[in-house]
Homo-oligomer: A and B are copies of this chain.
Amino acid sequence: MILDHKRKDDGLDKAARKAEIKRLRDMLVGQQQAIREAKLPVVVLLEGWDCAGKGNLINELISEMDPRFFSVKSFDRVPESEERYPFLKKFFDVLPETGKFLFLDTGWMEDTVGKYLRREIPKEEYERRVGSVNTLERQLRDNGYVLVKLFLHISRAEQLTRITALRENRDTQWRVSGDDLWQQQEYDRFLKTYGKFMEATEQAAPWHVLDGESRKKALYDALLAITGTVEKAIEAGRYDGSPMEQAFPLLGHPSQKDADLTAAISEEEYKKELKRLQNKLAALHNQIYRKKIPVVICYEGWDAAGKGGNIRRLAYPLDPRGFDVIPIASPTPGEKARHHLWRFWTKLPRSGHVAIFDRTWYGRVMVERIEGFCSENEWKRAYGEINEFERELTDWGTVVLKFWIHIDPDTQLARFEARQNTPEKQWKITDEDWRNREKWPQYEEAVEDMLQKTSTTYAPWYIIESVDKKYARIRTLQIVTDALEKAVEENVVRGMKSGKTKEAKK
C-alpha cells in the first residue's frame, strides 16, 4: 500500500462539509442505539503518525455520542522489555461488549511497527506478530465484532511543523517524546513499514487512510468510514464465521480409548513420590519465577474425577505469591457479550507466574456444544481459535499443560453416591451433576473430538487416569515437574521464543 500526501479533492466546499459532518454525526448517534438492538460490538482502531492529531480526531468523533455506550482506550508505549504478557493480551483485555463502541487511540499497528523499528523486537518476531494481528482481526470478525481501521496520515514536513509548535509551549512540550523525534528523523523507514503492514493486514477489514493535514476532511472521512461500515453490518446482521481451514501441528493422541483405568499406586510409593515431586516442584517454582517463565495448567475432567484434590497437591508446594488457582464457572452476562476467549485472556499469568485453571476455555466445545449454549458454527470454529490462542501463549514462552482427569461411569456413580451419603459432602453434588451424567455418551464424543483437534505439539493434552486418585496426583506432578525442568533448561529469555530482545540489539 502506498501512502501518498496528495490531497484527494472530494468537491465539498466548507459549508457543504459542515452540513455533511453534522448529518454523519447524527447518524453515528443513532447507530449507538441501533448496535444495541443488533447486538453488535464495534471497534474503531485509529492509527497514524505521532502528532497527527489522533486524540483530537477521537474527541471530534465522540463529541455527540452518549458516554454510556462507548469508551476510549489509549495505549501508552510500554517498552517491550517491560511487557509481562503476550502481545495480544492488552487488546483482548479492552474488547467492548455487544452494543458498545470502543475507540482505540493507537493499537496493534503502533505496538508492532513501532517496536520493530525501535529495535525492541527482531524481524522474525515482527513477522510473527503480523500473523497474530491477522488472527486477532479474523477472530474478531468471526465473533461478530465490527472493525473499522483508520490511519491518520501527515507528511514529514507537516509533522516537523507540529512538533516544533508543541515544543515552543511550556505546557505542551512534555507531549513531544524522544520517540516522536526519532520517528520524525526516521520518517521514511516508518512510511515504508506502515505501508507494508497495512498491505499485510487487509484480510479481515480494510484500512481507511485519512488526510491529517485537513482536520475537517479527516473528520468527515472518518465519519464516512465508521457510519458506512456500521450501517452495512446492521443490515447484514451479526456475522457468525464458519469453521477454519487452518492446519495445526496435531499429535493425533491421546484418546480416551487408550486410557488404562486400572493404573494404581501403593500407599507407600505414593507418599514417597508425593514428597519427592513436591519438593522438586517447589525448587522449580523458584527458578521459573527467576527466569520469568509463565505457566498455564489446565484442568478438565469428569465430575467427581478428583480435580480439586489433584489441584491442591499441585498447588501445595508453590509459593502463593507466584500462582493463582482460577475457577471457571458459566460465563456472566458481561462475558457472554464478548469474544468467548475474552474472559481467559484477561486472566493470564504474568511472566514468571503460574495460573492453574480449574475448568477452562474448553467449555466451549463441551458443555456449550452439548447444551446448545452456542451455535454449531461457533463451537466448530472454536477448535481453531483455541489452537491459535494457545499458540500465542507458547510463542510468548508460556508452558501450557492440559490435563483431562479421567474415570469411568461406574466410578463416577460410586463417588456421587458417596457424596450423597456423607452430610458434609452433600453440597458437592447437585442435580446438574446427575443431569450431566445422563449425557455421558455425548460428553464422551465431545471429549474425543477435543483431544483429537486440540492436542498440538506446543500444547498437548494428557489423559490422567484417576480411578486411583493418588496415581493421578503423582502423574500430574510428574508431568508438570518434567515440563518445568525442560523449560528452565531451555532458559528462554523473557518468554519470547521466536526472537530474543538481546539479539535484536546487536
Q: Please give the residue numbers on chain A whose beta carbons come within 8 Å of chain B beta carbons, in ascending order.
A: 30, 33, 36, 55, 58-59, 62-68, 71-72, 74, 76, 103, 105, 171-172, 174-175, 283, 286-287, 290, 308, 311-312, 315-321, 324-325, 327, 332-334, 356, 358, 424, 427
Contact = CB atoms under 8 A, between A and B. Distances in A.
Contacts of A287: 171
Contacts of A66: 308
Given A172-B286, A332-B334, A424 B30 contact: yes
A312 B55 contact: no
27 contacts: A33-B427, A55-B319, A55-B320, A59-B315, A59-B318, A59-B319, A62-B315, A63-B312, A65-B312, A67-B311, A67-B312, A67-B315, A67-B356, A67-B358, A68-B327, A71-B324, A71-B325, A72-B320, A72-B324, A74-B321, A76-B321, A103-B320, A105-B321, A171-B290, A175-B286, A332-B332, A332-B333
A437 to B, nearest CB: 20
A25 to B, nearest CB: 12
Nearest to A70: B325
A174 B30 CA distance: 58
B59 A316 contact: yes
Nearest to A317: B59
A424 B67 CA distance: 17
Contacts of A71: 324-325
Given A59-B318, A68-B308, 13 more contacts: A55-B319, A55-B320, A58-B320, A62-B315, A63-B316, A67-B311, A71-B324, A71-B325, A76-B321, A103-B320, A105-B320, A171-B283, A332-B333
Contacts of A325: 67-68, 71
Contacts of A324: 71-72
A327 B316 CA distance: 42
A317 B58 CA distance: 11
Contact of A33 (B315, B356, B424): B424
Contacts of A68: 308, 325, 327, 358
- Considering the complex of A and B, which 5 residue pairs feature the smallest CB-CB distances, nearest first? A67-B325, A74-B321, A68-B327, A72-B320, A171-B286
A334 B334 CA distance: 11
A316 to B, nearest CB: 5
Contacts of A320: 55, 58-59, 62, 72, 74, 103, 105
Contacts of A312: 63-65, 67
A40 to B, nearest CB: 15
A71 to B, nearest CB: 7
A460 B222 CA distance: 41
Contacts of A175: 286
Nearest to A29: B424
Nearest to A356: B67
A316 B311 CA distance: 51
Contacts of A317: 59
Nearest to A60: B316
A113 to B, nearest CB: 19
A165 B65 CA distance: 62
A334 B333 CA distance: 11
A321 B72 CA distance: 8
